[in-house]
């Protein structure tokens, strides 16, 4: 219970602005309970009047019951309205807060856990948190309803009350055992659902590649294995619930029979009148299902605690490592930066080894070398996607560990080889990086990226939806849209990581010209396997096994670096 109270306090901040709705929700619930306690009394009167053949009185009572039930239906409508408002507002706030915290997680944490972990917490667990106030209040009000019935029975027939109270305590004990067993299995179920959810995401996003690889059978086999394993574990939990439900229903039927025998015994001894017996029977109808309500409350608390722990482990906890930034903000970034003796390991594999180099403001520098040499890692470290194991990285002479997020990422644009394009329109994809983007700036950026003509050929122009991950675009079009996003941002440092690899020669030449026109105005870093695209760079750094093996201009490296010369000559031969 302590855990529940602690989690409830954490969840309250998402519902506290809905105080009026909560109060109205409680008031309508109380009104519904009051009517539901009164109606059985009137039904008892109908039975009595039937025995006396008082038809007029029966008609009057019938009208009163109908009026009360209509009034209760109207109250239920507003009760549900308030409940839905509370849920909607709370769910929205929790999801936004949780989404914001997920974006703060460091890159390795996201890579190691997979998308399913966070999808489940953003959807199912956030929903459980948002619904807790409605569920608890609903079930508590139902309990009050049953308590009212117990009080009525206590007044009319104390012996029957004592019997029902003992049976209820027994049922509550059984419900607690059920909840404990389900809770143990539920933890496993949720963990497996995370893995299955991530795999489903891969199935949808990777459907095209799965088809192209003709790997449908093997993928579905693996998918089926995961789904079966997940569903069997969930079935185990359902079996526990089913078995206990059967036992509780059986106990309820037996207790109802015993209740009738006690009632007959009391009537035979003139301990209760026939009118009192009818009232008690009306009140006791389904009364033992109070244990079901208690069971539901236990389930709500169990699910709420599980979901709270999973959600707040991201929002407030230490289960997942988050990015850390300094507090120093630079009003203006010149674009000068330096790597000083930087070493970086990914897991146990060393990627960069005591790497050192400098880049001056507005300089265009290219990084070349074999795959796996550490070129992309340099970009990721500069953007603080990863932390170096040793050494220092500075921007304008300031250690990036001291700089805040906006100073670093607000002044660096990275265009990768496989950029992620969001399932939005072209216009919205561009406005993601600049909300106040003007139509003129958007068109100019797309023209520089050689994308404007393609966009204007589409029926919806810049409002064309491009599908999840840019599904409706070719590889070259995705890269051009990513380049247009970079031109929209106009940051002081621009990183091109194989950003033109999927482009045809003519388009690449045009974009290369646009990049060349930016020389001298921005600090530009380029990773390219096609050396012909970077021969005009101010400097070229040849990276080998995580170190700068050689540096200089294109002409200088042809003279001083055998490895660079070999790469360049291999490229020339491949084009012949």
Listed in sequence order, the residues at least 6 apart from 516 whose beta carbon sits closer than 8 Å to its beta carbon are 536
Q: How many whole angstroms separate alpha carbon 257 and alpha carbon 263?
A: 10
Q: What's the CA gap between 97 and 104, in Å, rounded? A: 11
CB atoms within 10 A of CB 440: 8
Collapse the DSSP code of 501 into the 3-class scheme (helix H, G, I; strand E, B; otherwise coil) and give the result: coil
User: Helices (H) and strands (E) in the chain — how many of each?
Assistant: 20, 10
CATH architecture of structural domain 2-189+237-315 = Up-down Bundle (1.20)
Packed helices 2-12 and 126-156: angle between N→C axes, nearest 10 degrees: 120
Burial class (CB in 10 A: 0-12, 13-18, 19+), 519: middle
Per-residue b/e over 395-407, b at no fewer than 16 CB within 10 Å?
A: bbebebeebeeeb
What are the angstrom distances between the C-alpha of 100 and each of 103, 428, 460, 531? 5, 19, 32, 40
DSSP class of residue 262? H
- Rounded Cα distance, 25 and 77, in Å: 11
Closest CA to 436 of 395, 490, 390, 474: 490
Confidence of residue 182 (pLDDT cuts 50, 70, 90): confident
Contacts of 346 (CB under 8 A, 6+ apart): 377, 386
Q: Tell whether the model's pLDDT for residue 408 goes beyond 70.
A: yes
In whole angstroms, what is the distance from residue 62 CA to residue 49 CA? 11
Helical (H) or strand (E) element with 515 = helix 505-517
Q: Which fold has domain 324-411+494-503+527-576?
A: Rossmann fold (3.40.50)
Is residue 390 very low, low, confident or very high in pLDDT (cuts 50, 70, 90)? Answer: very high
Is the pLDDT higher at 338 or at 268?
338
327 C-beta neighbours (distance < 10 Å), count: 8
Residue-by-residue DSSP string for 135-204? HHHHHHHHHHHHHHHHHHHHHH-HHHHHHHHHHHHHHHHHHHHHHHHHHHHHHHHHHHHHHHHHHHHHHH
Give 234's contacts (C-beta < 8 A, 6+ positions apart): 189
In this structure, of 84-98, 218-232, 275-289, 529-543, the range with the lowest mean pLDDT score is 275-289
Tell me how far apart the alpha carbons of residues 30 and 145 are, in angstroms, rounded to a whole number.
9
| Closest listed residue to residue 344, CA positions, set 375, 368, 309, 321 | 375
The confidence score (pLDDT) of residue 44 equals 66
pTM, two decimal places: 0.68
Select from 93, 133, 137 the least CA-distant residue to 9: 133
Q: Which distant-in-sequence residues (6+ apart) come within 8 Å of 215 by Cβ?
A: none
Mean pLDDT (whole number) for 422-438: 84
Cβ atoms of 237 and 182 within 8 Å: the answer is yes
Query: What does the pLDDT read at residue 209?
Result: 60
Can you give the residue ranges of every domain in the chain?
Answer: 2-189+237-315, 324-411+494-503+527-576
| 2-189+237-315 against 324-411+494-503+527-576: fold identical | no
Phi then psi for residue 395, to 5 deg, are -120, 125
- What distance in Å separates the CA atoms of residue 546 and residue 527, rounded to the nearest whole number? 14
Q: 412-415 and 493-497: which strand pairing?
A: parallel
Highest mean pLDDT among 238-242, 418-422, 536-540: 536-540
Give the mean model confidence (pLDDT) for residues 508-536. 77
Stretch 327-339: mean pLDDT: 88
CB 398 within 8 A of CB 328: yes
User: What is the structure's pLDDT at 349?
Assistant: 81
Report the pLDDT value the prediction gives residue 470, as an integer from 0 to 100.
Answer: 65
3-state secondary structure of 540: strand
Q: pLDDT value at position 195?
A: 67
pLDDT bin (cut points 50, 70, 90) of residue 516 is confident
DSSP string, 430-496: HHTT-TT--HHHHHHHHHHTT-HHHHHHSTTGGG-B--GGGTTS-HHHHHHHHHHHHHHH--SEEEE
């Amino acid at each position: 219970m302590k855990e529940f109270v602690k989690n409830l306090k954490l969840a309250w901040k998402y519902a506290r602005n809905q105080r009026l709705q909560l109060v109205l929700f409680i008031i309508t619930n109380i009104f519904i309970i009051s009517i539901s306690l009164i109606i059985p009394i009137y039904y008892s009167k109908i039975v009595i009047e039937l025995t006396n053949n008082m038809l007029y009185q029966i008609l009057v009572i019938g009208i009163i019951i109908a009026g009360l039930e209509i009034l209760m239906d109207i109250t239920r409508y507003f009760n549900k309205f308030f409940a839905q408002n509370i849920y909607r507002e709370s769910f929205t706030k929790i999801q936004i807060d949780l989404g914001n915290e997920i974006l703060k997680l460091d890159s390795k944490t996201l890579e190691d856990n997979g998308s399913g972990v966070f999808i489940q917490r953003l959807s199912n667990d956030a929903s459980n948190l948002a619904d807790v106030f409605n569920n608890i209040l609903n079930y508590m009000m139902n309990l009050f309803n049953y308590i009212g019935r117990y009080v009525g029975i206590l007044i009319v027939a104390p012996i029957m009350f004592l019997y029902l109270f003992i049976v209820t305590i027994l049922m509550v004990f059984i419900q607690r055992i059920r909840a404990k067993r389900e809770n143990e299995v539920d933890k496993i179920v949720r963990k497996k659902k995370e893995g299955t959810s991530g795999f489903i995401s891969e199935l949808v996003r990777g459907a095209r590649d799965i088809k192209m690889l003709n790997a449908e059978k093997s993928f579905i086999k693996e998918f089926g294995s995961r789904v079966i394993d997940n569903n069997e574990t969930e079935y185990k939990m359902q079996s526990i619930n089913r078995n206990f439900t059967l036992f509780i229903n059986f106990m309820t039927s037996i207790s109802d029979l015993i209740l009738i025998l006690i009632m007959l015994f009391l009537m035979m001894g003139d301990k209760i009148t026939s009118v009192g017996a009818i009232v008690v029977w009306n009140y006791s109808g389904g009364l033992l299902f109070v244990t079901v309500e208690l069971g539901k409350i236990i389930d709500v608390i169990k699910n709420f605690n599980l979901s709270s722990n999973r959600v707040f482990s991201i929002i407030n906890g230490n289960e997942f490592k988050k990015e850390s930034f300094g507090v120093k903000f630079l009003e203006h970034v010149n674009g000068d930066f330096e790597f000083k003796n930087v070493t970086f390991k990914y897991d146990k594999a060393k990627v960069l080894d005591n790497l050192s180099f400098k880049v001056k403001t507005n300089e265009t520098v290219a990084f070349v070398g074999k795959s796996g040499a550490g070129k992309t890692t340099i970009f990721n470290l500069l953007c603080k996607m990863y932390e170096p194991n040793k050494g220092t990285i500075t921007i304008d002479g300031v250690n990036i560990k001291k700089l805040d997020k906006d100073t670093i990422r607000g002044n660096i644009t990275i265009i990768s080889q496989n950029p992620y394009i969001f399932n939005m329109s072209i216009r919205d994809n561009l406005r993601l990086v600049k909300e106040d983007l003007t139509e003129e700036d958007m068109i100019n950026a797309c023209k520089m990226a050689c994308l404007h003509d393609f966009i204007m050929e589409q029926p919806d122009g810049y409002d064309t939806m491009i599908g999840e991950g840019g599904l409706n675009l070719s590889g070259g079009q995705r890269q051009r849209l990513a380049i247009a996003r970079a031109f929209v941002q106009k940051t002081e440092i621009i990183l091109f990581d194989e950003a033109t690899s999927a482009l045809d020669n003519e388009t690449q030449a045009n974009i290369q010209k646009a990049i060349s026109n930016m020389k001298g105005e921005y600090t530009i870093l380029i990773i390219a396997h096609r050396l012909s695209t970077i021969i005009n760079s101010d400097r070229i750094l040849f990276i080998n096994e995580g170190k700068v093996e050689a540096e200089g201009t294109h002409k200088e490296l042809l003279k001083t670096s055998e490895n660079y010369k070999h790469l360049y000559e291999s490229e020339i031969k491949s084009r012949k």
